Chains A and B, each alone.
Chain A
Amino acid sequence: MTTTEEAYKEPVKKIGDIVLDVRDLRTYLYTKWGITKAVDGLNFHVREGETLGIVGESGCGKSMTALSLLRLAPKPAARTVSGQIFLDGEDILERSESEMRFIRGQKISMILQDPMTSLNPVYSVGNQMVEALGMYYDGEDNKSLKGRAVDILRKMGVAAPERRVIDYPHQMSGGMKQRVVGAMAISGTPRVLICDEPTTALDVTIQAQYLRLLKQVQEDTGVAIIFITHDMGVVAKMCDRVLVMYAGKIVETGELRSLFKNPSHPYTKALMASVPSMDHAHVEKLYSIEGQPPALFDLPVGCRFANRCEFAEPRCLEAYPPTYVADDGHTADCWLLEGEGQWKKAADTVA
């Protein structure tokens, strides 16, 4: 049988220096209803070999964040109005569009949710890979590029890649197509890999194979992964650190275990309580968050979660809460943490 399954060892995590440093990123969409603040002042970083999870409900700005990092947010509606994105120390928001073409793929790349929409149905898998590889390896002939494509497919666990490269996307199963998309994403040996719900469309058994593969690739190449998902199970399996987003803002961040053991923002608590468990029988009803997130073009002045929060106080409606930091680096934006033991107001927030 193939080598990946038997004798599997959990890869050893080697976390290095900061690769991607995002500061005060704001991407707004200019629509007929007004300015939609999809990404509203994000600060975060990812280190080499680290996996950062971004969780939240649909419409909270997760995918818009990912697209902003690649400078692919839909134009002309979307504009990154402020902020800096330092990739290996240089601000990519300062680069020209033609320079970005070389940054995408070789410095930062992305795997999307639906593999079928990322692949061109009328070209064979090999052709599509060679097209991108031709850009990364200037001046190489087609034959050696095809050889590279085969090697990368093998790395992504595609069985018999020599035969698979001449296949078209429709001849492959969903899991196999997603492997091909993954192979394309890592073919330029990027420093940062953004995965936007890569396994949502896959069966659980195939999902397990795929997640294991991503970890393996990370161990081999030291790529930093930003993992966007709404599945808490995937987060628990994959991530080292987690950002929780709500209505365009980061409401809580923390190391994986710290966040799961000690969720501190009411939204994170509610999100975790609303997921049923398969480890024990259910006697009580599931907790559910009533209501809907606010419209991003008509945001309240105060805390954006206040109208759905069961602990909301008058001050929550009046002003956006400052960020509080705990000793282990866990942060949360919530008024309720004021004066609570280990929580201290972060120095750089404007209350």
Chain B
Amino acid sequence: MEQDILLQAQDLTKYFPVTKGLVLQKTVGWVQAVDHVNFTIPRGKTLSLVGESGCGKTTTAKLILRLEQPTTGQVTIDGQDVHAIAGDELKKYHTDVSAVFQDPWSSLSPRMRVRDIISEGLIVNQKVTKNEAYERVDELLVQVGLRAQQSTLYPHEFSGGQRQRLALASALVGNPKLIVLDEPVSALDVSIQAQIMNLLKDLQESYDVGFLLVAHNLATVRYLAHEVAVMYLGEIVEQAETNELYDNTLHPYTKALFSAALTANPDSQREEIILRGEVPSPINPPSGCRFHQRCPYAMDVCSQEIPVRKEMAPNHFVSCHLY
């Protein structure tokens, strides 16, 4: 399948050192937050990372946003390694890639007017005058479902859903190629979630922007994402096109994760697989397959050998000894 690839993550790895001692610090171990992860995001499409807390979703997002340096591996956007950029190129990177975070109460400066918050990225990174920038702000406010007259207000004058719209407007200001969405709707009310999800879909179409969606609500992910990667302890264990994955889960972890999600249907006859215990520590992850201690189908080989990534159906990858 020939696709226009926007972002490519190759062998992306991030280990955080665990140190001991105050003055003479010694590294006693490594937190393997993200471990040899590979994925691509086509232009104008959405890839979603799902998994439990501590599985490395947010660290992956931070690596793409240049908020962390990878231990090994690289992220390229339109062929350019984002961690090797410097100088003026960096300004271009910052207009091309932006982010929307979970909590719209802490992501907007309370002391700035809405138009200054939204236009800041434009003024810093591109040569535009303030008036041009404000015009763009008015245009954006209408696109995200607010009114242009609201541009002189302060963030506290908006509700949670409206604030998330503002955060989206400021992410869109430089016509980005990629927006990292870290739990964009989970802090909002159910009825507002639907509004924001619809808005995200509309904006993706009109701006042809790619999304990296980090979320734990599987229904949200099914609605928004084109492709889904399931992460467990820093590794991608299964990855496929959204509907293929939801209709045909292969990895035992994916099965358990999906069965634990509740549907709004009292007669749902889904088999429920409840995992034992909690996610093990990423400091010394289990040998072999990292999931083997909690896996209901674990075999001897699972604790000894690391499973190889296999393509089970077109573009449906899974790392498990069962296949």
Interface set of A (CB-CB < 8 Å, partner B) = 1-2, 5, 8, 57-58, 159, 173-176, 203-209, 212, 230-237, 256-257, 260, 270-272, 274-279, 281-282, 285-290, 292
Contact = CB atoms under 8 A, between A and B. Distances in A.
Contact of B260 (A176, A205, A274): A205
Contacts of B263: 233, 236, 277-279
Nearest to B161: A292
Contacts of A175: 278
A5 B256 CA distance: 13
B197 A231 contact: no
B219 A278 contact: yes
A271 B190 contact: yes
A237 B274 contact: no
Contact of A276 (B216, B222, B243, B257): B222
Nearest to A6: B276
A204 to B, nearest CB: 5
Given A204-B260, A208-B262, A236-B262, 18 more contacts: A1-B276, A5-B275, A204-B216, A204-B257, A204-B261, A205-B260, A206-B278, A208-B259, A233-B262, A237-B262, A260-B266, A272-B264, A277-B219, A278-B219, A281-B222, A281-B242, A281-B243, A288-B191
A166 to B, nearest CB: 20
Contacts of A8: 274
B204 to A, nearest CB: 13
A274 B268 contact: no
Given A2-B276, A8-B274, A231 B262 contact: yes
B198 A288 contact: yes
17 contacts: A174-B53, A204-B216, A204-B257, A207-B260, A207-B262, A208-B259, A230-B189, A230-B190, A231-B262, A235-B264, A236-B262, A236-B265, A260-B264, A272-B264, A277-B222, A281-B242, A281-B246
B191 A203 contact: no
Interface in B9-29: none
A286 B198 contact: yes
Interface string B191-217: 101110110010000000000000010
A63 to B, nearest CB: 14
A274 B223 CA distance: 12
B278 A287 contact: no
Interface string B240-264: 0011001000000000111111111
B52 interface: yes
B191 A282 contact: no
B248 to A, nearest CB: 13
Interface residues of B, number: 41
A276 B197 contact: yes
Contacts of A231: 190, 262
Given A204-B216, A205-B256, A274-B191, A282 B223 contact: yes
Contacts of B68: none
Contacts of A232: 190, 264
B220 interface: yes
Contacts of B243: 281
A289 B188 CA distance: 13
A207 to B, nearest CB: 7
A233 B201 contact: no
Contacts of A290: 195
B267 interface: yes
A209 B294 CA distance: 14
A236 B276 CA distance: 23
Contacts of A174: 53
Given A173-B278, A236-B266, A278 B216 contact: no
B257 A205 contact: yes
A276 B220 contact: yes
A208 B264 contact: no
A131 B265 CA distance: 41
Contacts of B259: 208
Contact of A57 (B189, B223, B266, B275): B189
A50 to B, nearest CB: 15
A136 B259 CA distance: 40
A286 to B, nearest CB: 4
A277 B276 contact: no
B274 A209 contact: yes
A58 B187 CA distance: 11
Given A205-B256, A236-B266, A257-B266, A57 B52 contact: no
A257 B193 CA distance: 25
Nearest to A285: B198
A167 B252 CA distance: 33
Contacts of A288: 191, 194-195, 198
Contact of B216 (A203, A271, A275): A203
Nearest to A233: B262
Interface in B174-197: 189-191, 193-195, 197
B269 to A, nearest CB: 11
A57 B190 CA distance: 7
Contacts of B219: 275-278
B58 to A, nearest CB: 14
B315 interface: no
B71 interface: no
Contacts of B221: 278
B81 interface: no
A98 B275 CA distance: 44
A99 B31 CA distance: 52
A175 to B, nearest CB: 6
Given A209-B274, A233-B264, A203 B218 contact: no
A248 B266 CA distance: 26
